[in-house]
Amino acid sequence: MTSRARKWYPNSVYHVTARGNRKSNIFKEEEDFRTYLTILEDAIEYFNGQYEIMCYCLMDNHVHILLKTKIKHIKYFISRLNSIYAKFFNNKYNYLGHLYQKRYFSELIRSDLQMLETSRYIHLNPIKANMVKKPDEYKWSSYSMYIGKEKERLINSQKILAYFKKDNQRELYRKFVESRVEQICSHTGSESSNS
């Protein structure tokens, strides 16, 4: 039985997620995160400008990528990325079988508001998972690049930062994202106290 073809539109932005099989970790050591980012960078170069990473976050058992496409379907980019990384991971840890759970998930970004909210959601993932207290403390996301703490690599933040006043874009984006931190922390705190 073949998988149903996904709807895809050229020159669009998608929120792509891929999760470990049975929610297992797909990153176990720092080398794994670094290798994934190298493969991501290689895939951008391989497809010669057909895809652009707007932001990302690598969690222990899943990834989030906000991906802009041109005229090539996202399946080519994601299948290359996932298959090369799965070969690396399975070879390193002597595993057999699928690394990822089902196919990747992709959501079409249909509005400016959805674009902004999705970038914030991606960058706040480590807070929701109680891994860090502030999003810039997490090493494996593009957030530190957005706020100017690190030099940009792999990503193009211009489209998202363009929603903010030009002379203060990075600081305004930081305020936009971090305005939700307290709310998330109080929510996750009440969940843990109820368990």
What pLDDT is stored for residue 97 in this prediction?
Answer: 87
Under DSSP, the state recorded for 65 is E
- Is pLDDT above 90 for 7? no
Q: Does domain 13-185 correspond to CATH entry 1.10.357.10?
A: no
What pLDDT is stored for residue 193 in this prediction?
Answer: 37
pTM of the model as a whole: 0.91
- Per-residue pLDDT tens for 71-106? 999 999 999 999 999 999 999 999 988 999 988 999
Share of the chain above pLDDT 70, in %: 92
What pLDDT is stored for residue 186 in this prediction?
Answer: 75
What pLDDT is stored for residue 195 in this prediction?
Answer: 32
End-to-end CA distance of the chain, in Å? 41
- Is pLDDT above 90 for 148? yes
User: Exposure pattern of 25-63 as b/e (b: 16+ CB <10 Å)?
Assistant: ebbeeeebbebbeebbeebbeeeeebbbbbbbbbbbbbb
- Per-residue pLDDT tens for 22-55? 889 999 999 999 999 999 999 999 999 999 999 9
- Is pLDDT above 50 for 2? no
| CA nearest to 128, candidates 187, 178, 177, 179 | 187
What pLDDT is stored for residue 189 in this prediction?
Answer: 57
The domain segmentation of the chain, as residue ranges, is: 13-185
Higher pLDDT, 103 or 109: 109
